[in-house]
């Protein structure tokens, strides 16, 4: 049984954006009357109507308001050592004169290149707190999440969002700077695109409307994935946000750099390579896509993208190509052929580690995967699964 609240809202009539390669199966994306997705419309606004010079001034004012000269940290940047957050931390320190503390919620299993990038990042002059969750608990939560919502990645997301705010509260640091607003950049949820950051009330409401860590714990206990005795409240602390009232009382703010400065992942890559020693994937590209510099640090990442491909028919190459088309790096035609070539490629390299991490069999893995195939997305031809609609045979 799934407790995923996203999937039920997808529309059955599959369409693809006329400008990029994304389909309307992506949660919360909106297509306009010309058949163009909201993320493409937002990308146009970034090029034409957004007044970046004004936003630059706002960023300077925000930094001026928060900069400390008393030897204390004044901004937190959640950063695993990837290109985007490395860029954010570096410009805050060197262009805006801030004193960033970087915090990392550990990947499930660091890849060699991921660990190396984090080391290079601190070696370039940053203090970093690396929080590594209790692995017995973390593995069980990942297993519960895999069965409950078809995504073992969920416990990472909880900590990635929450941990930084516990540190902000504990050290009285008023700013927490994330990279881009994913809703505006990738989905185009129109309500958020004018926001410089996530209002704490909205964040907390979204968090509690979704599947929370407490829901996951309850599910895990019901399904005998773990027992009450495996859990302590203290180990669960960083998986949920701290008191929102307390964050508000202390004026702690959740900000996105993508609001203040044009967000170009490819440029962040060049910047981080130059300034923080960031290296791309040594094997040339990541499984399931053609790109070599995004989401490199976790051996289990590939399964998050793979399950997204199963649930929505949207794989990692589709997301990468859509973004690069919007940024003008590739054409839609090139995007289609990249999707055809790489989307849905199985993340074979770390499959055994994934099964071991979750303590599940290959049979259990595939039965969960197949339970997320929706009738309007997939068809079974003599035992092999095929997408009913793909951007490369849609001719749109």
* Footprint on this chain of Zn ion (rule: CB under 5 A): 17, 19-20, 37, 40
Cα angle 46-78-355, degrees, rounded to a multiple of 5 = 105
Element (H, E) at 104: strand 100-105
| Smaller CB separation from Zn ion, 298 or 324 | 324
Q: How far is the CB of 310 from Zn ion (least distance, A)?
A: 22
User: Please, which residue, 159 or 315, has the CB nearer to Zn ion?
Assistant: 315
Task: Give the separation between CA 332 and CA 212, rounded to whole angstroms.
Answer: 37
Distances (CA, A) of 112 to 69, 107, 202, 296, 299: 37, 12, 37, 9, 9
State in angstroms the smallest separation of the CB of 192 from Zn ion. Answer: 17
- Which CB, 17 or 103, lies closer to Zn ion? 17
Q: Shortest Cβ distance from residue 39 to Zn ion (Å)?
A: 6
Q: How far is the CB of 248 from Zn ion (least distance, A)?
A: 36
CB of residue 201 vs Zn ion: minimum separation in angstroms? 30
Cβ nearer to Zn ion, comparing 15 with 218: 15
CB of 31 to Zn ion, least distance (A): 8
Q: Which helix (H) or strand (E) holds 328?
A: none
- How many other CB atoms are found less than 10 A from the CB of residue 352? 10
Q: Which two tokens stand for residue 285?
A: 């590209």
> Cα separation of 42 and 47, whole Å?
9
Residues 6+ apart with CB under 8 A from 84: 179, 180, 265, 268, 272
Residues 6+ apart with CB under 8 A from 149: 2, 3, 4, 211
Sort residue 13 into left (φ over 0), alpha (ψ -120 to 50) or beta. Answer: beta
C-beta of 24 vs 104, nearer to Zn ion: 24
* Cβ closest to Zn ion, residue 32 vs residue 61: 32
CB nearer to Zn ion: pick between 148 and 184: 184
Tell me the C-alpha distance between 15 and 81, whole Å. 36
Closest CA to 26 of 248, 314, 356, 240: 314
Nearer to Zn ion (CB atom), residue 36 or residue 244: 36
Instruction: Please measure the distance between the N-terminal and C-terminal CA atoms of the chain and give it in whole angstroms.
Output: 36
Closest distance to Zn ion from the beta carbon of 1 (Å): 34
Write the CB contacts of 85 (distance below 8 Å, at least 6 apart in sequence).
Answer: 77, 78, 79, 102, 178, 179
Nearest-approach distance from CB 44 to Zn ion, in angstroms = 10
Distance of closest approach, residue 377 Cβ to Zn ion, in angstroms: 19
CB of 211 to Zn ion, least distance (A): 28
Q: What are φ and ψ of residue 137, in 5° steps? A: -65, -45
Least distance from Zn ion to the Cβ atom of residue 304, Å: 22
For Zn ion, the closer of residues 37 and 148 by Cβ is 37
Question: Are β-strands 127-131 and 100-105 bridged in parallel, bridged antiparallel, or unpaired?
Answer: parallel
If you search the block for the tokens 């290149």, which residue do you land on?
113
CA distances from 151 to 2, 8, 278, 354, 369 (A): 11, 16, 28, 12, 10
Instruction: Give the residue with the Cβ less far from Zn ion, 20 or 225.
Output: 20
For Zn ion, which is the closer residue by CB, 27 or 210? 27
| Alpha carbons 36 and 20: distance in angstroms, whole number | 8
Contact 122, 171 (CB under 8 A): no
């Amino acid at each position: 049984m799934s407790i995923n609240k996203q999937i039920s809202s997808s529309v059955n009539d599959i369409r693809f954006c006329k400008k990029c390669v994304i389909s309307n199966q992506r949660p919360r994306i909106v297509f306009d009357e010309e058949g163009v997705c909201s993320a493409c419309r937002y990308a146009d606004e970034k090029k034409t109507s957004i007044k970046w010079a004004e936003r630059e001034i706002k960023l300077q004012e925000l930094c001026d308001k928060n900069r400390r000269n008393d030897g204390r940290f004044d901004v937190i940047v959640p950063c695993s050592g990837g290109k985007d957050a490395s860029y954010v931390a570096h410009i805050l320190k060197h262009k805006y004169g801030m004193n960033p503390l970087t915090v990392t919620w550990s990947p499930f299993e660091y890849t060699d290149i991921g660990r190396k990038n984090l080391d290079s990042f601190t070696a370039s002059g940053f203090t970093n707190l690396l929080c590594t969750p209790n692995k017995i608990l973390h593995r069980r939560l990942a297993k519960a999440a895999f069965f409950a919502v078809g995504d073992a990645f969920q416990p990472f997301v909880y900590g990635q969002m929450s941990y930084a705010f516990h540190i902000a509260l504990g050290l009285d640091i008023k700013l927490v700077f994330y990279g881009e607003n994913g809703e505006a950049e990738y989905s185009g949820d129109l309500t958020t695109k004018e926001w410089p950051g996530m209002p704490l009330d909205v964040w907390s409401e979204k968090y509690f409307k979704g599947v929370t860590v407490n829901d996951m714990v309850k599910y895990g206990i019901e399904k005998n994935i773990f027992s009450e005795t495996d859990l302590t409240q203290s180990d669960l602390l960083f998986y949920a946000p701290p008191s929102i009232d307390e964050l508000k009382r202390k004026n702690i703010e959740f900000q996105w750099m993508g609001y203040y400065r044009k967000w170009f992942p490819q440029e962040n890559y060049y910047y981080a390579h130059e300034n923080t020693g960031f290296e791309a994937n040594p094997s040339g590209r990541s499984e399931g896509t053609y790109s070599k510099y995004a989401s490199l640090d976790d051996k289990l990442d590939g399964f998050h993208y793979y399950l997204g491909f199963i649930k929505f028919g949207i794989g990692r190459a589709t997301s990468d190509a859509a973004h690069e088309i919007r940024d003008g790096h590739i054409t839609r035609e090139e995007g289609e052929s990249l999707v055809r070539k790489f989307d849905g490629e199985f993340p074979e390299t770390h499959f055994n580690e994934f099964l071991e991490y979750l303590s599940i069999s290959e049979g259990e893995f595939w039965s969960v995967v197949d339970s997320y195939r929706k009738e309007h997305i997939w068809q079974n031809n003599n035992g092999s699964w095929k997408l009913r609609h793909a951007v490369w045979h849609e001719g749109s």
